[in-house]
Chain A
Amino acid sequence: DIQMTQSPSSLSVSVGDRVTITCRASQSISSYLNWYQQKPGKAPNLLIYAASNLQSGVPSRFSGSGSGTDFTLTIISLQPEDFATYYCQQSYGSPPYTFGQGTKLEIK
């Protein structure tokens, strides 16, 4: 099975900061990489699909890049509502479509 490793696992940041979260796959997954945001007590919400495609309704301060094994989620000018946990998920080939362990953004 493909393993997904996110870094960092947590990050202390301030409103207005630029944030970069990385996700590394244990083998090449082309661009089959999704990013989700999850707030406490809520279901996850899709941000980015196929590595770099912004889901409808998601603010343009979110962007995704990468292919192969290395991917990044970038948030420019962090807003108060962006404090949450972020997960990557690979969807290459047949399932299992594994998630990364998550990155929690905390207020500095």
Chain B
Amino acid sequence: EVQLVESGGGLVQPGGSLRLSCAASGFSFSSYGMNWVRQAPGKGLEWVSYISSSSSIYSADSVKGRFTISRDNAKNSLYLQMNSLRAEDTAVYYCARGDLTIFYWGQGTLVTVSS
């Protein structure tokens, strides 16, 4: 069974940093592209960042230069390093498996940016 479990969310002040983690199991992690998708309270889905199986990286303009996606295939883990956080980054962050299509999603972790 494919499982994606996010962790690392919480309350952080504007300008602060946070690192999200996603523990993957039930599939060959190194073979798949992985994404971070977020959802602000009461709003729609926003694609944030993608890392391919060969570690090519793409990010949304809204987070470029502030957020960095990475992966550790030996640990079956996906990460999102978030720096210079803003109030508008407040959202549930989902870890999601897929290249052209997201077939599996984690349950999400809430990041709140507030003073």
Contact = CB atoms under 8 A, between A and B. Distances in A.
Interface of A: 1, 32, 34, 36, 38, 43-46, 49-50, 55, 85, 87, 89, 91, 94-102
Contacts of B47: 89, 95-99
A44 B105 contact: yes
Interface of B is mostly: loop
A100 B43 CA distance: 11
A49 B101 contact: yes
A-B interface, 7 closest residue pairs, ranked by CB to CB distance from nearest: A95-B58, A43-B105, A91-B100, A49-B101, A102-B44, A99-B45, A95-B50
Nearest to B58: A95
Interface residues of B, number: 19
B72 interface: no
A102 B103 contact: no
Interface of B: 35, 44-47, 50, 58, 60-61, 94, 99-103, 105-108
A99 B102 contact: no
Contacts of B106: 43
A95 B12 CA distance: 28
A87 B45 contact: yes
